[in-house]
Structure 1
Amino acid sequence: MNKKQGIIIATLLVLIVCAGVLATKLNNPLYVNGDDSGSGKSSAVSFNNSSQKNNKTSSFFEETRLDRDQKNAQTLQTLKNFIDDKNVSKENRDEASKKYTDLAMNTNYESKIETTLKSKGYEDVICSIEDSKARVIVKGKDKLTDKDTREIKNVVVGIAKIQDVEIEVKQ
């Protein structure tokens, strides 16, 4: 098996794992309020019937998150293969190692920022960090207040130490 075949197999494995995780999350029942109101309907059914218009927004956040995670996993695998290749010069391996570390840290920061903002009451959040800029997309119906904007920026600065923060609201 040559290197190209190994990369293809590793990429396919990453995609299979991501598809499995997504399938598991989507196939689990949804519990919106955690109790059965005695109406004979499950929470998942009532959620499904009452919020069909939110499916477009929810799928945006899910698809964006899945796409970002797949791209990051593929890039990390490519960088890892580049780092492990003995035919590559030391300078190039060192540069790839730095990019690998930066991407791994940014992925960790994105996850922490999303979790922290969700715990502060935001319905759904996507965070993307590239170079020294963070982009945060928040699910909401209204424009963010100055307090909300400051809170989001403080979370990003506190976790990722990035001052340049772009915030967007998606309905």
Structure 2
Amino acid sequence: MNKKQSGIIVTLVVLIVIAGYLATKVNGPLYVNDSDFNEKTAISLKEGKSSSTFFTEATLSRDQDNAKTLQNIKALIDDANTPKEQKATAADEYLAVATATQNESDIELALKAQGFDAALCSIVDDKVEIFVKSSKKELSKEELRGIQDVVMSKTKLEKIDVKIKE
């Protein structure tokens, strides 16, 4: 190898390192550290907030929790020291969380398509909790049936709790 070739190789290695550094700075850290969040950045879901703020903050909070859970499970799966049985359990849990997250999103979109201004869906184990934005104090039987149909078509779960948020 002559001087020209070694100069080119060194230059390419330096460019790759710089590109990696810049990508990390632009896209943020490759991991989330619990100490990155403090009380000032935490989202509170107090009842006194307006409904649009409630739906926005609740969705953000749920999405952050789901992303953190998926990241932790993924780290467990990728760890070389994790036993195979635990990896299989973690893979099943990862699939369940990812599926529930997708179903929540699908249900919210379907409810918005039905005419609700905002909707929030939470699936925990075998129960679905739905918040819908409505100026009415009570939903009609047709609206409740429509919500139940959407949930049943997406999740096949029968325990559905619908709450109205003005």
Report the secondary structure of 1:129's partner residue: strand
Report the secondary structure of 1:11's partner residue: coil
Cross-structure match for 2:61: 67
Alpha-carbon separation, structure 2, partners of 1:163 and 1:86: 39
Cross-structure match for 1:136: 130
Give the counterpart letter for 1:124 in structure 2. A
Alpha-carbon separation, structure 2, partners of 1:106 and 1:11: 22
1:77 aligns with 2:98: no
Alpha-carbon separation, structure 2, partners of 1:10 and 1:129: 26
Cross-structure match for 1:127: 121
1:109 aligns with 2:130: no
Shift of 1:127: 0.3
Alpha-carbon separation, structure 1, partners of 2:31 and 2:123: 25
Q: 2:80 aligns with which of 86, 94, 104?
A: 86
Deviation larger for 70-79 or 159-168: 159-168
- Which runs of 5 or more structure 1 residues have no equivalent in the other structure? 1-7, 16-54
Cross-structure match for 2:9: none
- Which runs of 5 or more structure 2 residues have no equivalent in the other structure? 1-28, 37-48
Shift of 1:69: 0.2
The ranges of structure 1 where at least 4 consecutive aligned residues each deviate by more than 4 angstroms after the TM superposition are: none
Cross-structure match for 1:165: 160
Cross-structure match for 1:48: none
Q: 1:100 aligns with which of 94, 97, 102?
A: 94
Deviation larger for 87-96 or 65-74: 87-96
Alpha-carbon separation, structure 2, partners of 1:70 and 1:155: 25
Sequence identity, in percent?
37
Cross-structure match for 1:10: 31
Q: CA RMSD in A?
A: 1.8
Q: What do residues 1-59 of structure 1 show as CA deviations (whole Å, max 9, x unaligned)?
A: xxxxxxx85125xx9xxxxxxxxxxxxxxxxxxxxxxxxxxxxxxxxxxxxxxx71111
Shift of 1:111: 0.5
Q: How does 1:139-154 map to 2 (within 5 A)?
A: 139-142=133-136, 143-154=138-149
Q: Which has the larger radius of gyration?
A: 2
